[in-house]
Structure 1
Amino acid sequence: MNDRISDLLARLQNGIIARKETINVPVTKGNKGVLDILKREEMINGYENDPEDVTMFRVTYMYTDGEPEVSKFVRISKPGLRKYVTAKDIKPVMNGRGISIISTSQGLMSGAVAKSKKLGGELICEIW
Structure 2
Amino acid sequence: MRTIIEDLAGQAEQQIRDQAWQVSDTDRAVAAKAAAELDAAVGPPAVQETLAVIDRLAHLREALAAVALALAHVHGRLAWFLGAAATALTPVLHWRALPDDNGPTFGTIAPTPQQYQDAEDAIRHLHTALTHITRTTD
* TM-score normalised by structure 2 residue count: 0.26
Between 1 and 2, higher relative CO (CA 8 Å, sep ≥ 6) is seen in 2
TM-score (norm 1): 0.27
| Higher fraction of helix | 2
The structure number with the bigger radius of gyration is: 2
